[in-house]
Chains A and B, each alone.
Chain A
Amino acid sequence: MSSASSPAPGFLAQLPRGKMAENVLHFVRMLRAAGLPVGPAKMIDALAAVGAVGIENRDDFREALAAVLVSRSEHLVLFEQAFDLYWRHPRLLEKMLAALLPKVQGRAGDAAELPARLAQAMLPPPRPRQETLEQETDLDATFSFSAREVLQTKDFATMTVEELAEVKALLRRVKLPLPELPVRRTSAAPRGRAIDVRATLRRSVGAAGTLAPLRFRARRRRTPPLVVLCDISGSMDRYARMLLHFLHAITNEGDRVHVLTFGTRLTNITRHLRQRDVDIALAHVAAAVEDWAGGTRIGACLLEFNRHWSRRLLGQNAVVLLISDGLDADAGEGLAFEAERLAKSCARLVWLNPLLRYAGFEARPAGIRALLPWVDDFLPVHNLDSLTDLAKALARGPTRHSGALARAA
């Protein structure tokens, strides 16, 4: 993309002079409607930026608007699509919308299509079609209580397509409150361990001649990193696809969440999940993960994690969530060894297993027996309620290798 001065003289020739500001403002509004976080203050900035670079060079004009209106690299694609569409025919918005519509209303699964949000933002507001769209996306508002109750406890694997869509919206709101741990920053604290020289000195002056009582500081606290290892093999398929919505939400919320998938191989999908737009993010995940719904080699994948990722991701008292049914094609070979290493490299190893939904669950398969002795918590993960329980369990703090689990194995 060598953009080195491609002047495109008069690319805005169609635009009457006085209309420039109006069009910039309209463009900003459109971006906001499409979901870019551009506040009203950005309007003034955008006008100032355009004023500074002028409109002789299309690339400069675009970069000026981008510098002001974009604040995350993953929004650049959306911005550039919008820019190209909008400024190609600045006066012919209606025409452009017409050209755009059939594309967007086409098949939903097309990842390369223009993000649906952008299309929606470009639609003139009063249209019956958009109302139905809103109903679909804003489910929570219309949810009746009893319907929600049913969904809370219903197994992901037995849900209808509609129910799955509804639950995805709810999944995005589950929060995982890890208990806070001390970090290197300090703040004043009466029972702190380190002496606060500054505060002590101030007191000393006030009490010159006598011995001033010492002041103290203590370490501040923050939540530890969270690393999720999610089994996406055939037996986990339904659950994994749902949980990705949940994982996308928690990855975007905290800066210290990492997600890797495994089936026959290990894939770090954190980068893809950081993409704000859930549709784009999951499309990227689908493209990156090569072993969807295939076999499971848990031991081999944990080995890879231990060897290549553990040191980088498991610092600062990290908590590991292992999401898997524990059904292993390698019959647990090498698994116990790697599970032990994993457990010893993190502060807490939580195993989420959808099989736990069965009342008569027995830890018979070899994979499960190899893993169990090393996990700190063993919890179900088949419906919304179980995720809420997970949140509660995490908030309670660690229970290092509880004896009950070892005995259950």
Chain B
Amino acid sequence: MDSQRTPAAVPATVDATLALLGQHDYVADRRLATAVFLALKLGRPLFLEGEAGVGKTEVAKVLAAGLDRRLVRLQCYEGLDTAAAVYEWNYPRQMVEIRLAEAVGGVERAELAHDIFTTRFLLRRPLLQALSPEDGVPPVLLIDELDRADEPFEAYLLEVLSDFQVTIPELGTIRAAAPPVVVITSNRTREIHDAIKRRCLYHWVDYPDASRELEILRRKCPAASEALARQIVGFTQRLRALDLFKAPGIAETLDWAEALIALDRITLDPQTVADTLGALLKYQDDIGAITPDVAARLVDEAQVARAGA
């Protein structure tokens, strides 16, 4: 890796964006491509909200690959704080340094204080990595599942997104030479503060329609025959119309397809569905809702749809 790398150019049109995503096996609808294009063009963070498994995280991964940039990922969780998100001092090494200085003697206190709070002792966490990349190329910064972090972190993030700088009391302010490409995702287990969203371009990532889901299956699961792929899509599309606690996402469709292939199934039948439902539905009450009758009806409908297609 050359340290003087220049980043790949961002796509110039919506069509080029769609093509770029497609080259990396991301089958986007045109609306998403428009939002991605604008985020890149206007240099704004992209805020992707939607149910789990609809392809939000994948957008950031594909963008990093497509733009030839490093992916820096900050996975959010309850209790996430600046020590895990931004930076932390390397206390053990600082401690050793202090002991050494004491043993050798003759070091001024002020000087020592200065010495142990330098970048040498700094552990860089994702946000800081994204603002001061080692290779000089602004990376793709993925802030994943922000809804899991708590509000104080959001407030902090808002500051970072406003001027792409962080302040470390002992070191001063570190400012990004060029802002990273920022993708924020939320599964919407709670509402993210409007102030964050206002700084971003917002896109609601919906479940795919049948034709897009089929195309995703063809790309991501080529081992499935065309006939089986169509039945799988017909079934999951109908499943999503039911009143489930958690409808299957694309991730689940792909898992299910893998499971069916592993079991050498070439066509869907109610028994096969019953045996493999666990790959598609994650909650016991949802699995319970798909009784043999319901499964048989959905399989029938999926077959009919296939014949009509």
Chain B nearest CB, measured from A32 CB (Å): 13
Q: Are A1 and B38 in contact (CB under 8 A)?
A: no
B58 interfacial contact with A, CB 8 Å:
no
Which of A61-69, A139-147, A171-179 touches B? A61-69
Q: Which of A25-70 contact B (CB under 8 A)?
A: 37, 39, 41-42, 45, 48-49, 52-53, 57, 59-60, 63-64, 66-68, 70
Q: Is the CB of A76 within 8 A of B98?
A: no
Interface digits, B241-257 against A, CB 8 Å rule (1 contact, 0 not)? 00001000000000000
- Which residues of chain B have C-beta atoms less than 8 A from A63's C-beta? 30-31, 34-35
Number of interface residues of B (CB under 8 A): 48
Docked complex Cα distance between A41 and B34 (Å): 21
- Are B31 and A201 in contact, CB atoms less than 8 angstroms apart? no
Q: Is the Cβ of B29 less than 8 Å from the Cβ of A67? A: no
Q: Would you call B159 an interface residue if the criterion is a C-beta within 8 Å of the partner chain's C-beta atoms?
A: no
- Provide the main secondary structure of the chain B interface: helix
A67 engages B150 (CB within 8 Å)? no
Min CB distance B117 to A, Å, is 8
Which residues in B have their C-beta under 8 angstroms from that of A209?
Answer: 102
The residue in chain A whose Cβ has the minimal distance to the Cβ of B169 is: A202
- The reply to whether the CB of B198 lies closer than 8 angstroms to some CB of chain A is yes
B39 contact set on A, CB distance < 8 A:
67
Query: In the assembly, what is the distance between CA of A66 and CA of B41, in Å?
Result: 16
Whether A256 lies near B190 (C-beta < 8 A) is yes
Whether the Cβ atoms of A53 and B89 lie closer than 8 Å is: no
Give the tally of cross-chain contacts (CB within 8 A): 115
Q: Is A204 an interface residue (CB 8 A)?
A: yes
Cross-chain contact of A208 among B112, B197, B285 (Cβ < 8 A): B112
Beta-carbon contact of B37 and A53 below 8 Å: yes
Chain A residues near B203 (CB-CB < 8 A): 67
Given known pairs A184-B78, A185-B150, the reply for A208 and B204 (CB within 8 Å) is no
Residues of B within 8 A of A66 (CB): 31, 202
Q: Tell me if B190 and A198 are in contact (CB < 8 A).
A: no
Q: Say yes or no: A308-B78 contact (C-beta < 8 A), given A4-B29, A67-B34, A208-B101.
A: no
Give 13 new A-B contacts, CB below 8 A, not counting A3-B31, A185-B150.
Answer: A3-B30, A52-B41, A60-B14, A67-B38, A71-B200, A73-B49, A185-B81, A186-B81, A201-B89, A206-B113, A307-B285, A308-B245, A308-B285
Chain B positions near chain A (C-beta within 8 angstroms) = 14-15, 29-31, 34-35, 37-39, 41-42, 47, 49, 78-81, 89, 91, 94-95, 98, 101-102, 109, 112-113, 116, 150, 152, 170, 188, 190-191, 194, 197-198, 200-204, 209, 211-212, 245, 285
